[in-house]
Amino acid sequence: MRFGKAGLVAVLLASVATATIARAETIEGALARAYLANPELNAQRAAVRANDENVPRALSGYRPRASVSGDIGPQDSRLGGSTTTTRTFTQPKGGTLTVEQTVYNFGRTGNSVSAAEAGVLAARQQLRSSEQSLLLDAAQAYMDVLRDTAFLDLRRANIDVLKEQLRQTQDRFSVGEVTRTDVAQVEARLASAQAESSAAEGTLKASIAKYRQVIGADPKSLAPARPVEKLHPRTLDEAIRISQAAHPAIIAANYNVEVAEYQVKVTRADLYPTIGVSGSAQKRWDYQASGRDLDVYALVGRLSVPIYEGGETYARVRQAKETLGQRRLEADLARERVRAAVVASWSQLEAARARIASAQAQVEASTIALNGVREEARVGQRTTYDVLVQDQELLSARVNLIAAQRDRVVASYNVLSAMGRLSVDVLGLKVPAYDASAHYDAVRNRFIGTSID
């Protein structure tokens, strides 16, 4: 495994790149593809659109309700007396138009509308959280494929080196320079390397499957990826401050508090009277006797005053107040969780940087040591086992460096996610951001029609 420093850089996290690098898939392109086509995210968008309909449903409380009913059928009437019986056969028919309008209900409708609007805003923030999770998962899937491909390439290169070393050792054994033990040691190391290569191949296949699940296509010619640390603030304190103001989980929790506050008012309004007006127009033909019609027109004011409903309404009010307290606690919990996530992700990024520096030093030192041990083995000062041990040390160092570089890229995306800033706009992805307000604006004041186009 004789890699120079320049050759090592070419291997790490870039071994899947080909000569056609200009047409290689980039991490930005993969994230854009996932943002557009991921079914889980599209399902969440559909849920937000469904939630938008709660506002026109609440607004319907301001509008009248109208219904029409009709009837028709034969009627046989008999009027009997002591001496005679009168029989009349008619076919009455009629229709009624009724219109009802609530005039005042102590804010029940208005608070229902406000609660629905706050719920829409909360759903949009939950969608933002889903988008962040998807983009982070996509970045991780992309880097896992790069890492595991590099791991597999290292394992296969190690097998090639060990095969050559086995050939050389067998040649030296044939002329009596080494013993059978030396040959067996190389053979054992080669068998172990082949097993590790098979395991690495299985891990890569699993990563490719995850990539397809998240991004929607098989990975092909993945280009190297860089950390997005330039999008980070300079200090941890600033990152925490940004997260407390911008993270969708916190904003959604605050909107949920608003929803619960309005719901308390909506429920309490059930204890108060409702004032409404009802108008009707009725037309009857063949009423009671043949040839007679009946027209009835009415305009009625209605007052409904609840007196006692067995305590059910009072229980719902208390329940709504407890739910409000729960939502406030959940908002506090969301702030603390976000803060903890920012601190953890920031620490992981710093740890990855430190690991890269240590792994690079380890690779350089192990490379020098391996070259020295090989030279000493040629003149009989080192055994074959010493060479194998040092070769394994260098392989482990390179594996550690690849893992650390992958972790740094993923951690840089994780910091943005923890701050609430992992979005297509911040990343500058070449894809239009989903506009959740477009559907809302289209349906908010829509009072008729079932089409969802």
Domain boundaries, the chain: 5-65+107-271+311-443
pLDDT value for 165 = 80
Q: What's the pLDDT band for 171 if we cut at 50, 70, 90?
A: confident
pLDDT digits (tens, 9 = 90+) for 287-346: 655 567 888 999 999 999 999 989 999 999 999 999 999 999 999 999 999 999 999 999
Cβ contacts of 209 within 8 Å, gap of 6 or more: none
3-state secondary structure of 301: strand
Instruction: Give the model's confidence band at 453: pLDDT under 50 very low, under 70 low, under 90 confident, else very high.
Output: low
Position 81 scores a pLDDT of 62
What are the two backbone dihedrals, phi and then psi, of residue 370, each rounded to the nearest 5 degrees? -65, -45
* Cβ–Cβ under 8 Å, residues 274 and 102: yes
The CATH code that applies to domain 5-65+107-271+311-443 is 1.20.1600.10
CA-nearest of 334, 352, 346 to 415 is: 346
- Across the chain, mean pLDDT equals 88
| 63-118 per-position pLDDT tens digit | 999 999 999 888 777 776 666 677 777 778 899 999 999 999 999 999 999 999 99
Contact (CB, 8 A) for 346 and 235: no
Q: Is 20 exposed, middle or buried (CB count within 10 Å of its CB: 0-12, 13-18, 19+)?
A: exposed
Q: The whole model's pTM is what?
A: 0.85
- What ranges in 216-305 are assigned the alpha helix state H? 236-246, 248-268
The CB density around residue 326, as the number of other CB atoms within 10 Å, is: 13
pLDDT interval class at 159 (50, 70, 90): confident
Q: What is the pLDDT of residues 243-259, one digit of tens each?
A: 999 999 999 999 999 99
